[in-house]
Amino acid sequence: MKKYFFLALVFALAAAEASAQTTVADFDSPACTGTAIGAYQGIDFSLSPWDCENPGLTGQTGTSIAWYRHSNSGQFKLQTPGTLLSLSAATSTSSGTLTISTDAGESFSHSIDTTFQTLLTGFTKAASIITVKFPGGRTIELDNITYQTGGVSRTPGTLNLSATLTWDDGTPVAGSLNLSQLTGLGSPIQLGTFAINSAGGASGTVNIDLAQPDPLTFQVVLLGTNNTAVGAPAIFQVSRVMFPSTLTGINAKIVLSKSTATIKSFNMGLVP
């Protein structure tokens, strides 16, 4: 079973263009400053005491937002009802479980720590009010809030994927990932070549052909910043039961050995 988990984690590195138009509130363009944020990039933050935070945590790519008064819960509102797809999150102290819920009845929970990681919600229903709960209160920081107007349609084999990938010395992996699925005749179906960002993270959507013979077969090639392969291509077979129709996404944190480019540790969560 471990090799199956490994392939799922590799999928979590893939990033592809979403078919629907999305908006990303990154708090950098335009610049976010001060306390009492109002409306920003289509989101109304006046429902709770949100303020702007300068970069300071590992993996942070720019300004983030946090609560400027003590609270364990806060809200923001999508000005046009839509689906919250993903966000980046971290806490300035220790760790804890972040819970995101919507007024459409969907909820998502994930453990966070002092390193920013991209989290995919797996939500599919259009909502207006987003509720954020974190036991660490004002130590929570959010960034890159990504949403889509309206709801999201899912088909089996289409997954939202997200990961943070670092070497064992703490530095982020750089380069890109080429991912393909092999047919029963051994012919490749290109799933794409996907860039790994400067923080070692990536997220997006992958379409897996579940009609291929069981077990499904995939090939992965890690490319360096000069676009040459790092190590030999890896081929993996995965039982189709790893991709039930209810699965919408995978979140992962992965640490690799810098000397061998193999996985040393990982934490993974499935999004039903």
Q: Where are the domains of the chain?
A: 2-17+155-271, 22-149
* pLDDT of amino acid 94: 80
Half-sphere exposure of 98 (CA within 13 A, CB side): 28
Q: What is the pLDDT of residues 87-102, one digit of tens each?
A: 889 998 888 889 999 9
Rounded to a whole number of angstroms, the CA Rg of the chain reads 19
Look at residues 160, 197, 194, 166 and name the one whose alpha carbon lies nearest to residue 178: 194
Output the pTM of the full model.
0.57
Q: What is the pLDDT of residue 132?
A: 96
Give 72-131 pLDDT, tens digit per residue. Answer: 999 999 999 999 988 889 998 888 889 999 999 999 888 888 888 888 787 888 999 999
Taking Cα atoms as reference points, which of 234, 88, 230 lies closest to residue 162? 88
> What is the reported pLDDT for 147?
92
Q: Beta partners for 127?
A: 82
The pair of three-digit structure tokens given for residue 245, joined into one six-digit string: 């129709």
Smallest CA-to-CA distance from 65 within 175, 140, 13, 133 is with 140
pLDDT at 263: 67
Backbone φ and ψ for 262, nearest 5 degrees, come out as: -110, 155
Q: What is the full per-residue pLDDT of the chain (272 aa) written as tens digits?
A: 334 344 444 444 333 333 457 798 999 988 888 888 889 999 999 999 999 988 888 878 789 999 888 889 999 999 999 999 888 899 988 888 899 999 999 998 888 888 888 887 878 889 999 999 998 877 899 999 999 888 876 666 777 777 777 888 988 888 877 778 888 777 788 776 777 887 787 776 777 788 888 888 888 777 788 888 877 777 878 777 777 777 777 676 777 788 887 767 766 566 66
Q: Could you tell me the two tokens for 53?
A: 């935070």
Give pLDDT, residue 155: 64
pLDDT score at 247: 74
For 54, phi then psi, to 5°, come to -70, 155
Give the separation between CA 31 and CA 2, rounded to whole angstroms: 44
DSSP, residue by residue, 46-99: TTTTEEEE-S-SBT--S-EEEESS--SEEEEEEEEEEEEEEEEEEESSS-EEEE
According to CATH, the topology of domain 2-17+155-271 is: Immunoglobulin-like (2.60.40)
Class in CATH terms, 22-149: mainly beta
Helix (H/G/I), strand (E/B), else coil: 158: strand
